[in-house]
A and B are shown apart, each in its own frame.
Chain A
Amino acid sequence: MDLEKAYDKIYRYAYFRVKNTAVAEDITQETFLRFFAKNGTFHEYDMKYLYTIARNLCIDEYRRVKPEELPEEGSEAEAAVDFPEDSIMVREALERLTDEDREILLLRYVNDEPVGTICKALGISRFTLYRKIKNAEEELKKNLKEDE
């Protein structure tokens, strides 16, 4: 896998945790720098390491600045994006999920990561992950139904 794809995935992951483009991009770059400080080459196999590094950086960021103190953003940056009508509904449904459920759905269905990678990144067993994926899906579907 090429670095650009990996960059996009890590950036997307970080963005939906910190909800700020500049911070997300800083975290992404720091993730890669830390990875390459220890490794010579990058391969798909390494995604789990990248997520682990990025995840810890996001947690540190969370501890350092409370999310509500981060500069309100989104309105401007996101206004530029033309969202399909029904995806707004999904967005709202997602907002009502827990952070962890959102994280799992993002990793599994948007970044298309294999289960093994996610387990390593989150430090949980396969069994636990399957259960969590199922829960997150059910929650999401329930939220969507309520909206309709």
Chain B
Amino acid sequence: MKLSVDRITKQYKNKIAVDRISFDLTEGVTGLLGANGAGKTTLMRMMSGILTPTSGEISADGIPVQAENYRALLGYLPQDFGYYPEFTAKEFLEYFAALKGIERKRAKEKTKELLELVGLSDVAGKKIKTYSGGMKQRVGIAQALLNDPKILILDEPTAGLDPKERVRFRSLIEELGKDSIVLLSTHIVSDIEHIADRIIMMKDGALVWQGRQSDVEGDLEEFYLKRYE
């Protein structure tokens, strides 16, 4: 599958948040690097179909981002999200399974499987509001995976995870990148250092560098910092 982002721009009244960005993604993990305010979240929101670009087009194998069929392929984890206060993790996932058009019986199975995957099986029946930040983030990740997405967009997915959770998360992402397009943003270089095949770097809404991680000579962190001097 090819996900193409073609000259995407998002302009607010007096600020260009994303400035004519183009790239193509295929199966594998892509890291989106940039400081806070570089436009990563705006770009990812546009790629998830929740924010309309001022100009430019996004499509996956020709399916435009606005289409229901695109969203059927998509898994999205926003930078920050809430939950209906009465929800348990299990209810939260089953709710999203319904919105993703997954049949009830299968939704139950998938929910169970994902709760196991993110290590929350034993607290599945507890309200999310009793969870720690890392646990809540893991529920969010599970939510994104419900529909076996071919396109997975994760905005700062490691935020709030403790070091052990981070390691587990990284291997999960690596696995998912084998047959899905995974785009994950972060401002922590080490999050993607070993798992991203490709790197996209953003600064002030513009793309400053993109390429394979293997093309980066020497240390990725140093290389990254140099782009921002």
Interface residues of A (CB under 8 A from B): 1, 38-46
Contacts and interface: CB of A to CB of B under 8 A. Distances in A.
A38 B72 CA distance: 14
Contacts of B102: 39-40
B179 A40 contact: no
Contacts, number: 21
A38 B100 CA distance: 13
Interface of B: 72-73, 100-103, 106, 147-148, 150, 179
Contacts of B100: 40
A41 B150 CA distance: 9
Contacts of B103: 38-39
Contacts of A41: 72-73, 147-148, 150
Contacts of B148: 41-43, 45-46
B151 to A, nearest CB: 11
Contacts of B73: 41
Interface residues of B: mostly helix, strand, loop or mixed? loop
A44 B179 contact: yes
Given A41-B73, A41-B147, A1 B106 contact: no
Chain A at the B interface: SS class? loop
B179 A38 contact: no
Q: Which of B100, B101, B106 has the most CB of A within 10 A?
A: B106
Contacts of B72: 40-41
B106 A39 contact: yes
Given A38-B103, A40-B101, A41-B147, 5 more contacts: A1-B179, A40-B147, A41-B73, A42-B148, A44-B179
Nearest to A40: B101
Contacts of A46: 148
A46 B65 CA distance: 25
Contacts of A39: 102-103, 106
B117 to A, nearest CB: 12
Contacts of A44: 179
A45 B148 CA distance: 8
A44 B73 CA distance: 14
A125 B179 CA distance: 28
A134 B103 CA distance: 37
Nearest to A49: B106
A45 to B, nearest CB: 6
Nearest to B101: A40
A40 B148 CA distance: 10
B180 to A, nearest CB: 9
A38 B147 contact: no
18 contacts: A1-B179, A38-B106, A39-B102, A39-B103, A39-B106, A40-B72, A40-B100, A40-B101, A40-B102, A40-B147, A41-B72, A41-B73, A41-B147, A41-B148, A41-B150, A43-B148, A45-B148, A46-B148
B94 to A, nearest CB: 15
A42 B106 CA distance: 12
